[in-house]
Amino acid sequence: MKNSFYFICFLFGITLIGCSDDNSVSPQPNPTNEIIKAEIVVKQAFLYMDNDSFTWLPNDTILFEHNVFLTATGSPTNRYEWLIMNNNQTLYGKERNFHHDSMGELKIRLIVRGDSTKQNYPGDDGIDTAYKTIYYCDASKMAVMGEYFGSDSTNPSEKYNVKLYYDYSKDCLVLENIDKGLTFPEPNASTPNLYDISYKVISFNAHKFATSGNNNPKGRAELQPDGKTIIINYESGSANNRTKHKFVGTKI
């Protein structure tokens, strides 16, 4: 978790430079003549360790210490006022990065102001308000964590359990029995493990830190929309003999 945290903090700092609190621009005429609607989308900063790509994953449950990206849907010509209700902090702009350093609930209010469309909608005054609660949790609260019963595509008839959990005594993610019989990291491993965790996705890469007896898995585990099925696409093996795998399991 720490490995991805420092990288994300760096990205967060860069992005903030481009954010402006200027709220002086007045809303322009509404060309679509639609009712002003306030909606909030929350995304967590996430690094895919298996291919070194950065993204923002939408969810309202955020892993503690990760940055979030707040997006207001609607026309960019509207005015957007965010209120971080926990500390009475006001932000402006259609999109904002935000870092919160406490566990628990973070409550946000968004006010959107635009041109009134009373000509077509008599009840519209050009202002709308939305509220959103973000939940900052530790890794154990992420839905993707748990034990799954299933099989690998290389041998569908062989069933076994894979367990994903966070070991707080070692401060690391554990992938137990992934690649059947292999636990990542190894019990006595002295090398760091690279991973990132979100509510429904885990990305991991042990290939950069090869140790004897370890197949160094690299890939990602994704909890499916049903909240029960997991698909783990990964590769493993020695540097010169990597094989691709797909584990599909059901949470037990």
Confidence band for 123, pLDDT divided at 50, 70 and 90: low
Across 200-213, average pLDDT = 71
Question: In this model, does residue 33 exceed pLDDT 60?
Answer: no
Within 13 A of 228's CA, how many CA atoms are on the CB side? 5
Q: How many CB atoms lie within 10 A of CB 114?
A: 24
Nearest to 49 by CA among 84, 18, 4: 4
**Cα 51 vs. chain centroid, distance in angstroms?**
16
Across 173-200, average pLDDT = 80
Length of the chain measured in residues: 252
Structural tokens at position 2: 């720490």
Phi, psi for residue 80 in degrees, rounded to 5: -125, 125
For CA atoms 85, 91, 93, 99, give the dihedral sign: negative
Confidence band for 77, pLDDT divided at 50, 70 and 90: confident
52-61, 162-171, 213-222: which range is least confident on average? 213-222
Structural tokens at position 74: 């609607």
Q: How many CB atoms lie within 10 A of CB 116?
A: 16
Question: In this model, does residue 12 exceed pLDDT 50?
Answer: no
CA–CA distance, 114 with 118 (Å, rounded to integer): 12
Q: How large a percentage of the chain has pLDDT more than 70?
A: 76
From residue 171, alpha-carbon distances to 139, 147, 168, 174, 201 in Å are 10, 19, 4, 10, 19
Phi, psi for residue 213 in degrees, rounded to 5: 80, 5
Measured distance between the N- and C-terminal CA atoms of the chain, rounded to whole angstroms: 25
Structural tokens at position 119: 């000509």
Q: How many CB atoms lie within 10 A of CB 59?
A: 21
Question: In this model, does residue 155 exceed pLDDT 50?
Answer: yes
Any alpha helices (H) in the chain, and if so which ranges?
2-17
161 forms bridges with which residues in the sheet?
A: 149
Would you call 43 helix, strand, or coil by DSSP? strand
